[in-house]
Structure 1
Amino acid sequence: MTRCYNFCAGPAALPQAVLEQARDELLDWHGAGLSIMEMSHRSAEIVGIAERAEATLRELMGIGDEYAVLFLQGGASTQFAAVPLNLLGENGTADYVNTGQWSKKAIAEGKRFGSVNVAASSEDTNFTTIPPRDTWKLSADAAYLHYTPNETIGGVEYFWVPEATAPLVVDMSSTILSRPINVADYGVIYAGAQKNIGPAGLTLVIVRRDLLGRAVSQCPAMLNWKTAADNDSMYNTPPTYALYLAGLVFEWLKAQGGLEAIGAINRRKAEKLYAAIDNSAFYANPVEVPSRSLMNVPFTLADDSLDKVFLAEAEQAGLLNLKGHRSVGGMRASIYNAVGEDAVDALIAFMQDFEQRNG
């Protein structure tokens, strides 16, 4: 068996150690005589797995008791609707910052349920920048301020937390667990699992408990965070196998030294790749330097007629899923936690060889 280097933006690479453990436990989990996938979500085994996963996540991120941790379904895109349904109230207003495609989708969904004020946007720079905080036009009575700390498609990342009186609500799908953060800075953190948490199908919501119980009466039970919190994320059958794998990923992260250690590795990986791009006349990255993502690195070739050749040869070299998003083109290397430094080194070596032959 040969495993390639996977630079997919999501579903993304998983740690090989996690996959190997899951393989070994697939048919008979800890002598139970059946697979995790076959167990009742009400069983002591699954409840224990969920409790351990939550405890490890709380330890990794420093999540206090004043926050509820919810393991849900539907992806971050479902939370685009759940956020206003839970927080906006009747005839409320919410502030949003637009820094890319995922921000735009959150804004469009928010407008279905109330008044949305786009406080700032970087659309005029083709989403290659983050609007300076002093240009934001916030509402005086906003129920919350929503922004996307890392835009997966455009490769733009915040390395600062905006000051605001309203609770901060953030879609951290592509940056969660990549480096330490102060959870207390936020009212709500939500994330699809398929980048740094586990396989697709699981969604994480970390919500400050004082924000629970504010949902409008029309909010469906499955989107009501208080319903999920009151039922320990088991109001219905959760994605049990995805939750099990997420727990293994949390343990793997802990074994790597936690978020301080993984953050240092991620910064080193990104700095290597950006240096290779910047020191070349053949490759280019469009994002302003202070806002360059550590997780998603888009780049273009000087001659875009070579894009298909680059991708074909990269795949032959075992470097997979480097095609940029259809909305922006070019290339994109997503270098999440499970993408090792060796993968980045292999990509850089290939890029340099391709430039020598085609530049």
Structure 2
Amino acid sequence: MFKTGETILEIDLEALAHNYHHLRSRAAANVKFMAVVKAYAYGNEASTLAKKLSSLGVDYFAVAYTDEGVALREKGIEEPILVLHPQSANFERIIDHCLEPSIYSRFVLNEFVKTATGKAQTDYPVHLKLNTGLNRLGFAEDDMEFLLDTLQQTNTIKLKGIFSHLAASEDWREREFTLKQLDRFRKMTYHLVETIKYKPLLHLCNTSGIINYPEAHFDMVRSGIGLYGFGNDPELDKQLKPIGTLKTLISQIHHLDKGETVGYNRAFKAKEKIKMATLPLGHADGINRQYGNEKAGVWVNGNYAPIIGNVCMDMLMINITGIDCEEGDEVIIFGEPQHATDFAKKGNTISYELITGISQRVKRKFINEN
């Protein structure tokens, strides 16, 4: 009987290294590698993972927001850090901490040039975001002349990179659309590079793009979800190792008679005598209500135990009838033997949402640090 003592997210740094080396091997040696560590490194813990990735030779990091980049700098990360979705209120902090902003709109370009000029910057490195079809952020083809005019009128900034984002690189049914994105990216970057007369880093591929579109690796590839062990494809999943295992314990065991109910709104009613257990985690920890009422389950001493009733804020209940266990025994939510992708599917969602939603109040424990 395993004893964990508390709810923890166990993070395997050896698995992280395995995933990095596997993904890195899929690109040419002269192609740089950007590790995406936004959202606490996809729900894990950004600074420790970034330090590990730095030691492995990662060339670049990417975060979503300025505060994430500042936090990495304060933890000693020295590699270039791209801020994917910066806001104008944070431009001074970006410059103060030597972060590289994504410039994705006319407003952002004008405001960053204004801020950088005010701070007496010359050739400050920025990355230009192009919209090739995802339609979230980025300049369109009809913005090219505006971009070139602005770039030629200032020496405050300099393009360190030009990038875009693939909408469906994991889906072979959308291959035609993806190839159109590649063509659009080539066309737009060719026009820009020919005019500015120097070559920024071109980067387009995410994890699935690294695997499925080697012709589009350009100067740098980016990986987020793949580093954490998820490939958006069953075959790639076999080659990667999920780095996180969410563990908790049995707080209390109850024996219910037929007809007794469990939890809020009496959502579960026992059809016969059962043995049940209460666990100390709930939707405030990231295991949301959609997993309740036997939609999903957990593993207790090698046995599957369905979640019964409504998931509470700090607790959930499981049916352990027929399982040899006692209070204090370890419970696996996801991780061996239950892949997080499979758990997420039972809640009608995806691994991204599940792993990034694990609350920061869940203690992180690192293993295989050496």
TM-score normalised by structure 1 residue count? 0.29
Which structure has the larger Rg over C-alpha atoms?
2
Q: If the length of structure 2 is used for normalisation, what is the TM-score? A: 0.28
Name whichever structure is richer in strand by fraction.
Answer: 2
RCO higher in structure (CA 8 A, sep ≥6): 1
